[in-house]
Amino acid sequence: MKLKMLLLLLVGTLLTTSCKETKTETPNSSETSNATVYYNGDIITMEGDTPEYVEALVVKDGKIAFAGNSNEAMTVAGPGHKMINLDEHTLLPGFMDGHGHAWNAGFQAVSANLLPAPDGEGKSIDDIIRLLNDWKAKNTEAISKYGAIVGFGYDDSQLKEKRHPTADDLDKVSTEVPVFIIHQSGHLASTNHKGLDAAGYIAGVQDPAGGSIRREEGTDIPNGVLEEMASFIPLIKFMSTLDTKANELIAKAGIEAYIKFGYTTVQEGRATSDNCETWKTLANRNELPVDVAAYPDIQSQMDYMLANGDSDHYTNHYRIAGVKLSLDGSPQGKTAWLTKPYVVPPPGKSKDYRGYPAIKEDTEVTRFVDSAYAHNWQILTHCNGDASGDQLIKAVTKATETYGQKDRRPVMIHSQTVRFDQLDQMKALGMSPSFFSMHTYYWGDWHRDETLGKERAYKISPTATALKKGMIFTEHHDAPVALPSSIMILHTTVNRVSRSGDIIGPDERVSPYIGLCSLTKWAAHQYFEEDSKGTLKAGKLADLVILDQNPLKIDPMSIKDIQVLETIKEGNTVYKK
């Protein structure tokens, strides 16, 4: 403990464990304080362009009352306040979700975990079958009720066989009920023959618009592997069978997955009306421990948005913050829409295969963006490929010409293969990127060798270039594509080291402080919430996270080992390790 802090404590108590608390008392005074003082740790305010530390933080009534020196902190806290000894741990503003799908993160949590290492055991197709059978044995009641076996997170790029499981493979799990497994990207899936039958995917069936049904070689017979809309259609049908209780349990599981990584604001990206109503119900019952910001899908939820609109404030920790638009697929699944061909095209595709758009007609994209601008809805748009980026920039340019360039803060979600010239155009339009630098670890080798080639792979999520151009950005996990790990986001944003140890774009690495900015104050700006969140400043919400180590003071390669000790929302602990 600092000496002057010891002198200020009226009743000194020796604290031997982290984040323990005690209470000061004032003789001959009936006055008590509801304030809490955090001290004896690295308290990083995130206020400046460079790291700023304070000795103490005072929280009152769910807000930050003071951040500064110990003497003044004691005065602001008043008599009878509570003291929290950080025990030399690190205190930061609570992390904010640049982009994710909170309900789907819960769906992932309750499904069979098919993720590859380090997040699961899905190393081979035999592993996938084993994991599904294990889940089947433990979830007989759910399978009987909902009529499906569901798994999440398989990744063909990490499977020993380097291919997707097929209907023949998944028949080894069941031939009696549909087996539906979702690719880690969320943009592909595979199902057994029972699942194909249930979806109506029989020999000769046409591909749905915006999707592709892969076939057995040399035939028109579906092989079980589904891309984009072809995978979404049966998944949406399954989701519709879930009752209110199941939807709420899944939503809560999503929140639990987030808060253990220090998130105090989470996102429901590309929300359905059912998602929104689930969150709203939980909010009305005061069952949301952190803020949930929903972005309904503008393509399918226009009527819902017109009826419910968006809000600049939370009601019981829930608000509709804007809309979501999706223009292509995923690079790791080879469905993102590129201007140059994939290095190794998917089976059956030509050497000039570039992926494909989710919406073919530019006029349709323009119509959706125009609607968002007309209603003053913030729009977040999924663009993994640079061709989809061109499509978005064209639409935003037209909408800006029509409605003027106000402070709308449109966001290009993922911006994986965004070109440097596109960053210039985005800056001029007031559009910011939300990068997915976790790809540098999870799929960096795959992009280098299979999808993009070294030159393009080394430029994915070009954080340093955006920074040099005077842009701010956020970073995200896109849960359930990856676990909602703020720590892994920070690690990959700073280091960009792949599974094999290759640095995927050395010139695009940024400092740990910049990485923290993307999770805190820049994320608050993306949400239009910079006046209430993102930094430790008097008057802002007491949304806090406590880490066991300071990311700014350790070897950057050790960032991945940092542990979240506690998550605090408006002064209340919502998670403690």
| Strands 564-569, 544-547: pairing kind | antiparallel
pLDDT of residue 300: 95
Per-residue confidence (pLDDT) for residue 5, from 0 to 100: 39
Helix, strand, coil distribution of the chain in percent, nearest 5: 35, 20, 45
- Would you call 463 helix, strand, or coil by DSSP? helix
Cα-trace Rg, the chain: 24
Q: Round to whole Å and give the CA distance between 121 and 65.
A: 46
| Bond before 118 cis per omega within 30 degrees | yes
Question: Which letter does DSSP use for residue 394 in this model?
Answer: H
DSSP sequence for 277-325: HHHHHHHHTT--SSEEEEEEBTTT-HHHHHHH---SS-BTTEEE--EEE
What is the predicted pLDDT for the residue at 23?
55
How would you class 124 by CB atoms within 10 Å of its CB: exposed for 0-12, middle for 13-18, buried for 19 or more? middle
Half-sphere exposure (CA, 13 Å, Cβ side) for 202? 3
State residue 236's pLDDT score.
Answer: 87
Q: What is the reported pTM?
A: 0.91
Question: Which residues, at least 6 apart from 576, have a Cβ–Cβ distance to it below 8 Å?
Answer: 565, 566, 567
pLDDT of residue 232: 92
pLDDT at 22: 59
Amino acid making up residue 79? P
Mean pLDDT in consecutive groups of 10 residues from the start of the chain, 577 residues: 37 39 49 89 97 98 98 96 97 98 94 95 98 97 94 96 97 98 94 97 95 95 96 90 94 97 97 96 98 97 94 95 97 96 95 96 98 98 98 98 96 98 98 98 97 98 98 97 96 98 98 98 98 98 98 98 98 98
CB atoms closer than 10 angstroms to residue 220: 12
Spatial contact of 106 and 254, defined as CB atoms under 8 Å apart: yes
Per-residue pLDDT, 312: 87
HSE at residue 229, side-chain half, CA atoms within 13 A, is: 14
Contact 41, 54 (CB under 8 A): no
